[in-house]
Amino acid sequence: MAGLDLPMGELATFALAIAASGVVSGLMAGIFGIGGGAVLVPVFYQVFGLLGVDEVVRMHLSVGSSLAIIIPTSIRSFTGHRAKGAVDMSLLKSFLIPVPIGVILASLTAAYISSGGLRVIFAVITLLVAFRLLFNRESWRVGADIPGNPARAIIGAVIGYFSTLMGIGGGVMNNTFMTLFGRPMHQAVATSSGVGVLIAIPGTIGYIWAGWGNPLLPIASTGYINWIAVALVIPIALLVTPYGVRIAHALSKRQLEVGFGLFCIFVSARFFWSLL
């Protein structure tokens, strides 16, 4: 299987790289409410490539493994933000059905879309979000408040769909959605952590189904979930996520926007480069 023919020293280096990504993803989960997927997917893609995982399944494996890790990190981030009273529970409850519907549709798509297709989706959406955040103006508002149904349900399904294809916890899109309707960035970040829970659980199940029995998958994989990567990252990410929550509530709205925007540009550039 992929990676077994590498020297132990190199395997240890790659394991350390994945573990380090757990630290960063945990902080990102707390600071931006994004579940850490925007960090984990590009890191996993690089590491799985160095381990010799076939290009055909590498991006799918990165996305699926990221979703599995987002389950505990999003729960940890959500409980932290909720304790501070920052989560819009009314909006979150209205997403209970639409978001998982989008996740299910994305899981069906993942069974057939190419690795390049997943990378294009990841890169384009993160780049659009980055420009929205970096060049944000108070006048950039779609409305005075978040719309009701059916528009809200459709938006929830879209967030679930594209976030699942990207292997992220929904923060990238939900942050943008809420701030475009005048909600404070801190509330958007906090609520996004809850959206991550709604995406990650059905998304993980969906990626297991989508990749079930694929002969190109590396050792310790169930569908598009690699449990070695998951086991390395989860305990580290859970440990550092509360520190990210503290940082988020210590920063200003503009600092959060600029920090998140710059991070999105970095991630987007990495995937556009991989398509060359």
pLDDT tens digits, one per residue of 6-46: 566 666 776 777 777 778 777 776 776 565 677 788 778 87
**b/e per residue 62-83 (b: at least 16 CB within 10 A):** bbbbbbbbbbbbbbbbbbbbbe
Range of lowest pLDDT (37-46, 76-85, 144-153): 37-46
Ramachandran category for residue 156: left, alpha or beta (phi over 0 → left; psi -120 to 50 → alpha): alpha
Range of lowest pLDDT (30-44, 150-164, 168-182, 201-215): 30-44
The more confident residue out of 65 and 145 is 65
Q: With bands split at pLDDT 50, 70 and 90, how would you rate the model's confidence at 212?
A: very high
pLDDT at 106: 95
Least Cα distance to 187 among 90, 67, 71, 76 occurs for 90
pLDDT at 202: 94
Least Cα distance to 106 among 127, 122, 83 occurs for 122
The more confident residue out of 257 and 53 is 53
Compute the distance between CA of residue 222 and CA of residue 209 in angstroms, rounded to an integer. 9
pLDDT at 226: 92
% residues pLDDT > 70 (the chain) = 91
The token pair at 139 is: 């006048």
Whether residue 180 is predicted with pLDDT greater than 80 in this model: the reply is: yes
Say what the pTM is.
0.81
pLDDT at 22: 79
Whether residue 205 is predicted with pLDDT greater than 80 in this model: the reply is: yes
Q: What is the mean pLDDT of residues 179-190?
A: 83
Q: Domain extents for the chain?
A: 8-274
* Other beta carbons within 10 Å of 41: 29
Q: With bands split at pLDDT 50, 70 and 90, how would you rate the model's confidence at 3?
A: very low
pLDDT at 84: 84
Owner of token pair 């002969």? 215
Q: With bands split at pLDDT 50, 70 and 90, how would you rate the model's confidence at 1?
A: very low
Q: What is the mean pLDDT of residues 239-266?
A: 78
Compute the distance between CA of residue 82 and CA of residue 103 in angstroms, rounded to an integer. 24
Kindly report the length of the chain: 276
